[in-house]
Amino acid sequence: MTMKTPAGETAPRWQAISDNVHPKDRKPENDMTHKHALSTLFATMLFCGCETVKQARVAQSENDRQPGERTVTAERMGLTKDRPQTLTNLEQTARLYHPTVFKARQSVESAKLQVHIIRAGRLPSAGASGTYNRSTQNSWGYSTKTGMKGSWSGSLSLDFLLFDFGKLDAKEKQAIENLISSQRQLRQTEMDVTYDVQTAFFELQRAAELYRVDLESERQYAEHLDEAKTMAEVGTRRPYDVTKAQVDLGNARLEVITASNTLFTARAQLDRNLGLTERTCFEIRYSLMPTNSQTIAELMSIAETNTPSLAVLAAKTRAASFAVDEAVAELYPDLSLGADASVSGRGFPLAWNYSWAAKIVQDLFTGYRKTDTIKQAVADLRSARADQADAEQALYLQIVQAVAQRESSLKSLEVSEMIVHQSKENLDIINEQYRVGLASSIERTDAQVSLTKAQGDMVRARYDYQLALAHIAYLTGQISSLPPEP
């Protein structure tokens, strides 16, 4: 076996020359050559990975925070006052800028790197070291001296894993399943953010419509008051009717204030779900979810294929199975090959030495830790399977509840629409009777209250239905993939 020296000659020939030449006759160029070789080695060690370090330092800077690491403005998101937003636009915006989605993306990157790190175990590992040492050379029986002499040494080492009975393969498979799990978790996080935006959007639309209902009710009560005052002045109504109308108008104004607060809060919730910390003023376009009339069995079949949360648990179960393989493989030895080359001496040129070895490493007794690790891995596998089964059962129940909500809200919407129509007709009749003295102010108030309540119930039922559709889409893993509208 021959080895090239930094000067480019083989080690045996170089060693023979150095043995036959007196130290005083050695050329100083050799010293410079070896010093240059060591300097090159140390420079390589020093600057290896400097680009990665540079990127890491940039990431530490506060100025390098990306959207998701910091809260962006509504203007940066494109949510300006002069551009009305649909539900699809807001869903896309939230998935781009929300911190939880950004964090989930970083988890995917971490999982990818973990796969790369484990695969690196199949590659040879090389190491280098260099030492300059000064020490005294005293020994027993001789006079003690304080003078020190210097020595140089350097070494290169190489290790390569030949066979490990599948331990590295099992680790890699676990890492791949963890990567799949993190990718599915990213999808789940996107769905979570989308669903949060949908619920906040429909709650805002509901609050806005209820606010309009209360404003219309307030306007009606104001007309009642004006009419009661006019009729009281001409003597066709008692002062009581005026007082009653004033009380009704005051109550209506309180309802408007309450509805206004609800609207304000709903807007703040939508801003929060979009990933904002400011009060926005963009308009929203009226949007509805796609209709859905599928049965529970059909929805469950879709959910078993599309729902990311189930895919996450399935990946974790497979990873747990590979963890069992790894634990079993730990019972067997590791076979590796190592090589080492070193130079040392008190002056230049230094003397070369090199060696290689095949190594087999086997634990003889570890206090039953390895067998207990196998049992623990099996328990973890069974637990992962139980989590998967429990999630499927919980998902089924949620789908049943969502379908029940969909059907009941749809029926409620149909009934409330009919009641609104009847309440309007009843209020028109009562108003005419009131004007001719055939109905009291109490009857008139009752009719107005009935209409306002029916209109509110209709609005609530309409958005209960939309929220049920959104919940079904969320449970079955169906989120909007349309690009933002212009």
The mean pLDDT of 79-84, rounded to a whole number, is 91
Q: Which residues contact 246 (CB under 8 A, 6 or more apart)?
A: 225
Binned at pLDDT 50, 70 and 90, residue 11 comes out as very low
Amino acid at 241: D
User: pTM to 2 decimals?
Assistant: 0.80
Determine the pLDDT at residue 143. Answer: 77
pLDDT score of 1 more than 50: no
Determine the pLDDT at residue 27. Answer: 41
Token match 């066979």: residue? 163
The mean pLDDT of 232-246, rounded to a whole number, is 86
Token match 């189930």: residue? 310
Give the whole-angstrom CA distance, residue 284 versus residue 344. 77
Query: What percentage of the chain reaches a pLDDT higher than 90?
Result: 57
The structural domains of the chain, ordered by start, are 1-17+33-47 (no CATH), 82-99+187-335+365-475 (1.20.1600.10)
- Per-residue pLDDT of 326-377, as tens digits, reads 999 999 998 998 889 888 887 778 888 889 888 888 888 888 899 999 999 9
Binned at pLDDT 50, 70 and 90, residue 40 comes out as low
The mean pLDDT of 448-455, rounded to a whole number, is 93
- Per-residue pLDDT of 248-274, as tens digits, reads 999 999 999 999 999 999 999 999 999
Binned at pLDDT 50, 70 and 90, residue 42 comes out as low
Determine the pLDDT at residue 46. Answer: 53
192: left (phi over 0), alpha (psi -120 to 50) or beta: alpha
Cα 213 to the center of its chain, rounded Å: 40
Q: What is the mean pLDDT of the chain?
A: 86
**Per-residue b or e along 331-346, where b marks 16 or more CB atoms closer than 10 Å to that residue's CB:** eeebebeebebbbeee
- Per-residue pLDDT of 367-422, as tens digits, reads 889 999 999 999 999 999 999 999 999 999 999 999 999 999 999 999 999 999 99
Q: For the range 416-424, what are the long-range contacts, defined as Cβ-Cβ under 8 Å and sequence gap of 24 or more?
A: 416/454, 416/457, 416/458, 416/461, 417/458, 419/454, 419/457, 419/458, 420/451, 420/454, 420/455, 420/458, 422/454, 423/447, 423/450, 423/451, 423/454, 423/455, 424/451
The mean pLDDT of 143-159, rounded to a whole number, is 84
- Per-residue pLDDT of 48-74, as tens digits, reads 567 778 888 888 888 888 888 899 999
pLDDT score of 275 more than 50: yes
DSSP state of 5: -
Give the whole-angstrom CA distance, residue 114 versus residue 116. 5
Determine the pLDDT at residue 394. Answer: 97
- Per-residue pLDDT of 162-199, as tens digits, reads 888 999 999 999 999 999 999 999 999 999 999 999 99
Determine the pLDDT at residue 49. Answer: 62
Determine the pLDDT at residue 282. Answer: 93
Q: Does residue 349 have a cis bond before it (omega within 30 degrees)?
A: yes
Sequence length of the chain is 486
Binned at pLDDT 50, 70 and 90, residue 39 comes out as low
**Least reliable range by pLDDT among 197-201, 308-312, 435-439:** 435-439
Give the whole-angstrom CA distance, residue 89 versus residue 284. 10
